[in-house]
Structure 1
């Protein structure tokens, strides 16, 4: 990066307006020209600007001839591969210290991208992530292909974390288009395949999700990243399960379980048991499904993990019309809501509001459904919208509210089209 760009980046990082930085030094329009590399300021103006940014004047000389000598790229690779949060926090601190010592580092933009990607592994950095992403967006035109790869990938991850699966999928498609004629390193491609697979899974695009996960697990196996391989197996098992390939699903989950036992790790036991429960549920073997769901709960300690399995248990009892137990587990779920992160609390509150309206036959059930539908539509979770429209329409029809029922059947069908990415009726064939 050139000096003007570094000044702009540091000004934005400090949340400083151009007018304030320029005040008493030069007019804001001239500062804008400096930041955009259109003019080279005099030494006096350079020094005054750096002083106002609290950058030591000696940094101008010490960083001028600085080469790409910082050791962060190999460490960054190791952290992303291992997904170790302790190492991520340590590397983040090291980068911060380095930047303080080298505020005019030519690779400052790359370091900012690394910082932000590490922060995405650490939920306590939400505000810093938003700030950094806004700054990075400002520098998009100055980025090379590799830098754009990281920016778009982070945008996709953020969309996925916010349950905006359609948007995430579109972003990752852009990433694959971006790098068609550019060779990314194997570990970077493995991470892209892994993250993209999660998004495809959430969009019910299971076959491509399996293909991408196979590409990711191939790299993780080669690098003996066993825990990453186990996670990939679990995700592949979910994809097989969702396509009705239950034999492959059971085999994949059992393989993940076998490897976990071999490395004496209990980290994935909850996920494996939960998904074995889901597979038995599809086989309509409620006894085994509930056994594995309970086993999953016994191994989970985090409320945000527990709520997923409790939701599965509520659905399991409800679909077999065991409403007594469904209500019992619904109350357990509602009691747990306040222990969840804000995002998960809102997400599951909308799901459980619908089940509560059904199980307790609440009078305002239409408004409850409408509120939930509005939320899930905002999250682009069209499958939930489609399902709940069907449930609402059936309940309205049972109450002889046929006109309203017909309307929600139609709305539900339109959600189904959105989920399938169908825009015209000819595409239905």
Structure 2
């Protein structure tokens, strides 16, 4: 956004005025030079005099600055949503959140804060900052136009998805859908909506619906030639097809995503795609190939959580062949990374994964309290597959120890969770 110093300098040059002629009778030439270099903030009466001599209207300047600000913010917002990277979003949030600007209309004020709300969600800003924006919009929701309503409900959906509040996310999906046909909503925003809906559907185990929504998003992003969201769509289709058991089809989508990433040199995607190719190989029973992919994936990862994903995956594959030395080494590596991190509790689920894997192979002593703590944690974030998995492991531990009543209790919890994942109310509905 152009500031006062840039406006003065640009207009002086456009009018072919020297600094001396512009400054004459207003201020010294050296003071004007400092203003143009943004080394000083001009006094109000000097600002008015310079604008008057350049025949610039103060109100027009403010409106022009406002328009430039919104254009710049929109461009960064769009890029932030399509890339969906928290570190990048944090930089954008820090930059724009420091501006103080008076808007000429309510619509521009709403627009700015809706863009900032989504950026804050992607940037994983503290809940309080996001909630303040959300509460403000909730109070005036009846005054919002269709485009503003659509963006607000999509933002709320993304927030709930990020916080594992999937039932609430589904409610906001339905609210946003009411406004999706409004002509003021950009095509890329509709693509983003479908990809977000796909992610929510995947999280609630609606994998066929997830694939369908991802294809809708893919068609839009391909028509706009937007490479990064195209890759994200292929990944989502592949991941959901893995869950559906369509492993070959899933691999085709991962291979396509990898080909795009290589073609456009999007190195940031390599680790994630290789991770999914590894899991695909694991599901098809090829542990050796899976480990190869996982190790390649780890090479391209720079931040802690993605590294832990690969390390845990490698340990799981070695677990299948009871390779104790490798299991111990990789679990130890993962736990050390967590312990050495700035926020060990933020990766608590991987601490549980590594600890229970060590217990399972008798590398460490059985600790049912830790497994119970893990089950409670995964129930809290609606991660039903891990609830099912660790309930089953705990049931087996109790059975080996002849604690038959406790064993039966956790076999039952594992079975009930499996029914929920498959959307069955009763065992009779399984066939």
TM-score higher than 0.5 here? yes
C-alpha distance 123-180 of structure 1, shift in aligned 2 (>3 A): closer
Alpha-carbon deviations, 1:76-99, whole Å to 9, x = none?
Answer: 4455345576588558745763x5
Q: Secondary structure at the match of 1:100?
A: coil
Aligned to 1:196: 197
Structure 1 unaligned blocks of 5 or more: 1-61
Of the structure 1 ranges 303-312 and 181-190, higher mean CA displacement relative to structure 2 is found in 181-190
Match of 2:299 in 1: 298
Whether the aligned pair in 2 keeps the contact of 1:386 and 1:415 (CA below 8 Å) is yes
Q: Structure 1 residues 347-356 or 398-407, which shifts more?
A: 347-356
Q: Is the 8 A contact 2:322 2:361 kept in 1?
A: no
After TM superposition, the structure 1 = structure 2 runs for residues 74-93 of structure 1, keeping only pairs within 5 Å, are 75=75, 76-83=77-84, 89-90=91-92, 93=95
Report if aligned partners of 2:118, 2:155 keep a CA contact under 8 Å in 1: yes
Map 1:114-263; keep pairs closer than 5 Å: 114-124=115-125, 127-176=128-177, 178-179=178-179, 182=182, 184-263=185-264
Structure 2 equivalent of residue 397 of structure 1: 399
Shift of 1:428: 4.8
TM-score for both structures, normalised by structure 2: 0.75
Aligned counterparts of 1:242 and 1:127: Cα–Cα separation in 2: 35
Larger Rg: 2
3-state SS of 1:301 partner: coil
RMSD: 3.3
Moved more, 344-353 or 318-327: 344-353
Residue in structure 2 matched with residue 411 of structure 1 by the alignment: 413
Indicate if the aligned counterparts of 1:386 and 1:413 stay in contact, CA closer than 8 A: yes
What are the superposed Cα offsets for residues 231-273 of structure 1, whole Å, 9 maximum, x if unpaired? 2212212222222222212222222222222222322111121
Q: Does structure 1 retain, via aligned residues, the 8 Å contact 2:231–2:260?
A: yes
> How many aligned positions are there?
366
Q: CA deviation at 1:210?
A: 1.2
Output aligned runs, 1:228-377, within 5 Å: 228-338=229-339, 339=341, 344-360=346-362, 365-377=367-379
Q: TM-score, normalised by structure 1?
A: 0.75
State the 1:377 CA deviation: 0.9
Which range moved further: 355-364 or 373-382? Answer: 355-364
2: CA distance, partners of 1:381 / 1:305: 18
Q: Report deviation, 1:371.
A: 1.0
Compared CA separation, residues 173 and 315, structure 1 to 2 (3 A): farther
Does the Cα contact within 8 Å between 1:303 and 1:340 map onto a contact in 2? no
> Deviation digits for residues 153-210 of structure 1, max 9, x if unmatched?
222222222234454345424433x337655432221111111212222333221111
> Deviation per CA, 1:319-346, whole angstroms, max 9, x where unpaired?
2222331121111111111427566412
Is the contact between residue 304 and residue 341 of structure 1 (CA under 8 Å) also seen in structure 2?
no
Report if the CA contact (8 A) 1:393-1:404 is conserved.
Answer: yes
Task: Choose from 367, 381, 384 the match for 1:382.
Answer: 384
Query: Greater relative contact order: 1 or 2 (C-alpha under 8 angstroms, separation 6 or more)?
Result: 1
C-alpha change, 1:291 and 1:340, in structure 2 (3 Å) is farther
Q: Unpaired segments of 5 or more residues in structure 2?
A: 1-58
